[in-house]
């Protein structure tokens, strides 16, 4: 496979995705988890933008850019819901982490 600039961006995007995935699992603070998901989303968007690249001369494909735009709207809505929920969890329980997950008997 030829090493093109697009491939470099795709690999960077996948790298960000993996970094975010790691952070999501190791950090227990809810804000950090939300940030980790944000970074994963940025990685995915980078892959999309790189997928729009055709050749140095050609105009890049507008469809993935439109999809990234949609993705950003969806992602910001989800992140806001996440932040609002995290604030409610903090206000109600005084904790910034999730409980251990075992359903209360």
Partner 1 sequence: MAIFEQSIHWPVWLMVLPLTGALLTFAIYRYQNLIGLITAMGILWSVIALAQKVLTEGPQRYSIGGWGAPLGIDLYVDGLSTLMLLLTAAVGFFVSFYGVGYAGFRQHNHGSGYFWPLWLFLWTALNGLFLTADIFNAYVTLELIGLASVALVGLSGQASALNAAMRYLLVGLLGSLFYLLGVGLLYAGYHTVDMASLGQAAQAGPLPRTALTLMGVGLLLKTALFPLHFWLPPAHANAPTPVSSALSALVVKAPFYLLLRLWFTVFPDSTTGAAANLLGLLGAIAILWGSIQALQTQRLKLLVAYSTVAQLGYLFLVFPLTQDSMAASTAWSGALYYTLAHGLAKGGMFLAAGTIFYALQQDRIQNLNGISRHLPVTAFAFGLAGVSLMGLPPSAGFLAKWSLLTAAIANGQWGWAIIIVLGGLLAAGYVFRVLSYVFMQAPSKAHYRPVPWLMEWPALLLALMAICLGFITQTPLTLIEIGAPMSYQYLLP
How near is the Cβ of 2 to partner 1 at its closest, in Å?
Answer: 15
# binding residues, partner 1 (CB under 8 A): 40
Maximum distance among all Cα pairs of the chain, rounded to whole angstroms: 64
Restricted to residues 3-62, the positions that interact with partner 1 (CB under 8 A) are: 10, 14, 17, 21, 24, 30, 33-34, 37, 40-41, 43-44, 47-48, 50-51, 61
Name the residue with tokens 């980790």: 36
Q: Which long-range contacts (CB under 8 A, 24 or more apart) does 34-38 make?
A: 34/79, 34/82, 34/83, 34/86, 37/78, 37/79, 37/82, 38/75, 38/79
How near is the Cβ of 67 to partner 1 at its closest, in Å?
Answer: 6
**Binding status of residue 63 toward partner 1 by CB under 8 A:** yes
Q: What end-to-end distance do the CA atoms of the chain give, in Å?
A: 56
**Binding status of residue 71 toward partner 1 by CB under 8 A:** yes
Could you list the residues that contact partner 1 (CB under 8 A)?
10, 14, 17, 21, 24, 30, 33-34, 37, 40-41, 43-44, 47-48, 50-51, 61, 63-64, 67, 70-71, 74, 77-78, 81-82, 85-86, 88-89, 92-93, 98-99, 101, 103-105
């Amino acid at each position: 496979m030829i090493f093109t600039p697009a491939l470099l961006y795709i690999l960077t995007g996948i790298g960000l995705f993996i970094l975010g995935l790691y952070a999501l699992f190791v950090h227990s603070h809810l804000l950090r988890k939300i940030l980790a998901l944000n970074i994963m989303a940025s990685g995915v968007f980078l892959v999309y933008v790189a997928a729009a690249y055709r050749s140095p001369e050609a105009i890049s494909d507008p469809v993935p850019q439109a999809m990234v735009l949609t993705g950003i709207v969806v992602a910001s809505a989800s992140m806001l819901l996440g932040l609002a929920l995290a604030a409610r969890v903090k206000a109600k329980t005084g904790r910034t982490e999730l409980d251990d997950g075992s359903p209360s008997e």
